[in-house]
Each structure stands twice: as C-alpha cells, then as structure tokens.
Structure 1
Amino acid sequence: MHHDLNRTCPVARALDRIGDRWSLLIVRDAFDGVRRFSDFQRGLGMSRSMLSQRLQALQDAGVLTQQAAADGSRYHDYVLTAQGQALFPLVVALRQWGEGHLFDPSEPRSHLQVISTGQAVAPLLPRDAEGRALTAAETEVIKPDQVPLSGDLTRG
C-alpha cells in the first residue's frame, strides 16, 4: 500500500534499488577501488551470504557488473557500470553530510580530495540552470497527476 503512494517518486524508487546500508557501502568501496569479493568482505566485515546477495542485487539493478579479473587470475572483478558511476554525487553528498554533522571537530575521519591538487572536494549543492545554489524552499515537486500553473489551459 505504502509502495503505491511512492510509485511516481524517484527518491523512493532509488531507495528500493540501492537504499540499504550494505549496498551503499559496497558502492562506496567500489569507488575506492575494491573489486574482489574477498576484499569487499574483509573491508565490510559482512557474512559471505549477505555480501553475495547484495552483490547480486546490485548487478540485477545494473549498478555493478562482473568481469574477468584484470590480473588474468580465475577470479572475477566487480566494477561499477555507467549507472553505478552516476552514484558518485550521492556518495559524496552522504560523505559531506556525515563530515558536517556526525563528527566532533577533533575526531579523526577520512577525507575526499582531488587527486591533481590535493584540495578537498567543494560542497555539493543543488543548483539552478544558471549555477545559483538553491535551498529546498526554492524548489517544488510536481507530481504526474498535477498540472503546473504555467501549463493550466483552463485559465484564460
């Protein structure tokens, strides 16, 4: 029932695909260069069966794909697809929110930096077509069954 209410919501649909903690941590690790099942398992500390299930679900969702290992061994590498690579801004946004709200100033934490400059990645912000940063109050969601006022043909 609740699912029907969210069927037109891109946020709900995205969370259905990749919204659990383990899936997002697998995606994070894939961005960090993890490719092998054993390396995901070692880094995440999750059971083999749970990891196998999550990796399969991410493959079914088109986020990860398996390919022959780059080193020519009998193993397979898990790599992000183009759809998986498109999750990078989401991972960065979660990281930046966590940095800003979940750590004491003196608490050690990992940092994301630009390889070529060593500088921190600039804060992600939603922007309008001209590049101006937007707040939530400056936006609205138009549901498929709503007609925006600008498209109201009954006015005249």
Structure 2
Amino acid sequence: MRWEELDQQPCSLARSMAVVGDRWTLLVLRDCFLGVRRFEAFEKRLGITRHILTDRLKKLVEHGVLCKQAYQQRPLREEYRLTEKGLALHPVILALVHWGDTYMMADEQGPPVVHVHRECGQIMQPVMTCSCCGEAVGARDIRVEVGAGWPATEVLPQASQRGG
C-alpha cells in the first residue's frame, strides 16, 4: 500500500492516517488544542518551515478539521480554528499523550503537562469505555468483525477475527 493511496483503502484507520497521520500534522493539532491559532505562532512553536506548515494547514482545512476565520480585515489576516470534526480528534491526541507519558517519559519528574477535568478539578487520564454498557475496555476486550462497509473481495486478517 502506497502512502498516496491511503485515502482509498477499505480501512477507516488508513483513511484517517491520510489526513492526520503525519508527524507535523499531529503536532499542529496538539498546538490547536493548546490554543494556538495563528500561522506565525505555529511556525515559531514548531520550528517548521513555512512550506511544510502551509501544506499541513491547507490539508486540515480541505478536510474540514480546521477552518480559517478572519481576525483582521485590512490586510486580511486569518487564524485557524478547530471545527467539530477537529474537536472529535481530542480523544486521539489525549490517548497519544497518555501513551507518551506512560512509555516515553524523558525523566522521573512527571508529565510535562497534565489534563484537568473542569467539572471536578482533578487530573484525569483518558479511559476508553464501551458506548453500550459503560465498562472500561482495552485491546483484549474487543473483537473485530467485518462490517457492512468492508469490500466482499477483501479478507480480514485471521488474528483480527479471533480477537487479537
């Protein structure tokens, strides 16, 4: 499978990776969730070239993850805001941060940032739960089955059919 063809795969993860699977794109999204909105701020924080940043922001806008909103008319200046589609990526970012805090810590001082639940004021950790019963679930608690959108000509890997 070629990188340019990910968006054509019969796999939701592959199609998602075609939009957000690049290291710079994930860091742009991280900064969006931290409140960064303007091109120059992204450029300064990330140390990224203007060409690459322009490309990543354009792709996120084209796919409806970000929208551009004017903050100045003369000359026209726009900032980037997360859309509902973009906000829906928050659990993905939280899960990656949590994984990094657990397995990629630079030292014993603790995580560089913590996520505090506004309602209760406590530091929270992301937890995946079943949408039906509310139970916490992990990889060993889930079975993958062919869905209606799976092409009849494709075969699901056997390991997935057995539940991992």
What is residue 98 of structure 2 aligned with on the other side? 96
Structure 1 CA distance, aligned partners of 2:79 and 2:143? 41
Unmatched 5+ stretches in structure 1: 147-156
Alignment match of 2:108 (pick from 88, 95, 105): 105
103-112 vs 41-50, greater mean Cα deviation:
103-112
Does residue 127 in structure 1 map to residue 120 in structure 2? no
114-123 vs 73-82, greater mean Cα deviation:
114-123
Opposite residue 15 of structure 1, the aligned amino acid is M
Alignment match of 2:141 (pick from 127, 138, 154): 138
Alignment match of 2:49 (pick from 33, 41, 47): 47
CA displacement at 1:75 relative to structure 2: 1.5
What is residue 149 of structure 1 aligned with on the other side? none
SS in 1 for 2:68: strand
Q: Which has the larger radius of gyration?
A: 1
SS in 1 for 2:81: strand
1:65–1:79 contact (8 Å) kept in structure 2: yes
Structure 1 CA distance, aligned partners of 2:28 and 2:82? 10
CA displacement at 1:128 relative to structure 2: 5.0
**For each residue in 1:41-92, what CA deviation from the matched residue of structure 2 results, as whole angstroms up to 9, or x when unmatched?**
01111011110011001111111110111x6663211001110010011011
**For each residue in 1:5-46, what CA deviation from the matched residue of structure 2 results, as whole angstroms up to 9, or x when unmatched?**
x82211111111111111111111111111110001011110
Unmatched 5+ stretches in structure 2: 156-164
Structure 2 CA distance, aligned partners of 1:111 and 1:31? 13
Does residue 35 in structure 1 map to residue 37 in structure 2? yes
1:28–1:91 contact (8 Å) kept in structure 2: yes
Structure 2 CA distance, aligned partners of 1:130 and 1:93? 21
What is residue 153 of structure 1 aligned with on the other side? none
The count of aligned residue pairs is 145
TM (norm. structure 2) is: 0.77
Structure 1 CA distance, aligned partners of 2:97 and 2:31? 13
1:128–1:134 contact (8 Å) kept in structure 2: no
